[in-house]
Amino acid sequence: MTAAVPAHTPDDADVDAEATTAAAPVPHLVLLDPPERAPLRRIQVLLALMVLPAAVVLTVIAIGLPSDSRLSRPAVELVGSSSYAADRLSASGFDVGPSLGAGSAGNSAAAATAIVYYRAADLALARRVRRSLGRGSILFRPASLSGHDVTVVVGKDLDHIDDDHPPDP
């Protein structure tokens, strides 16, 4: 005859082991600042939030925006006199300014109109100027002292054109 093995019944040691693992104490979070410094911390956070936008604005002002950004009109310098060229460029959205050097007054000695750009990124801008005027050779020069994006040297081909006689494309 085989002896019956009694079923395992939990004894008191097993119950105590389960109770201690199930209800292990949770460690408390350590606060970095005592509660009495909370108002000071709020003031510091508010000041940081107010100073950050002001710093961004001042940085943009100090660095400046590129002249060909969407916030300003591209600057075109006219060397030689042509009311036709000035009117066409202004109507096309350019900020037209006269040349500060020689050649800004009177007629140009150039045989043909030249459109000079100074940065590789301004090639598209020079092409827009040419479309606005209807003529002109596009030239690249590596530096400009005038601060303009593009310079138009008015040639004899634009010298005597007025609004009644638009140029041939």
Q: pLDDT value at position 105?
A: 46
If asked whether residues 53 and 79 sit together in one domain, one would say: no
If asked whether residues 80 and 153 sit together in one domain, one would say: yes
Q: CB-based contacts of 77: which residues, under 8 Å, 6+ apart?
A: 97, 98, 99, 146, 148, 150, 151, 152
If asked whether residues 57 and 106 sit together in one domain, one would say: no
Mean pLDDT over each residue of the chain, to the nearest integer = 74
If asked whether residues 80 and 149 sit together in one domain, one would say: yes
Largest CA distance in the chain: 132
Q: pLDDT value at position 80?
A: 82
pTM value > 0.75: no
If asked whether residues 97 and 41 sit together in one domain, one would say: no
Residue 155 falls within a domain, yes or no? yes
Give pLDDT tens digits for 75-108. 888 888 778 888 899 899 898 887 655 444 455 6
If asked whether residues 104 and 136 sit together in one domain, one would say: yes
Give pLDDT tens digits for 100-130. 554 444 556 688 899 999 988 899 999 999 9
Residue 18 falls within a domain, yes or no? no
Q: pLDDT value at position 42?
A: 85
Mean pLDDT over residues 5-20, rounded? 55
> Given strand 150-153, what is the order of strands in its sheet?
95-98, 75-79, 150-153, 114-117, 137-140
Number of domains in the chain: 2
If asked whether residues 43 and 110 sit together in one domain, one would say: no
Domain ranges, residue 124: 75-159
State how far the alpha carbon of 58 is from the alpha carbons of 44, 45, 53, 63, 136, in Å.
Answer: 21, 20, 9, 9, 40
If asked whether residues 107 and 145 sit together in one domain, one would say: yes
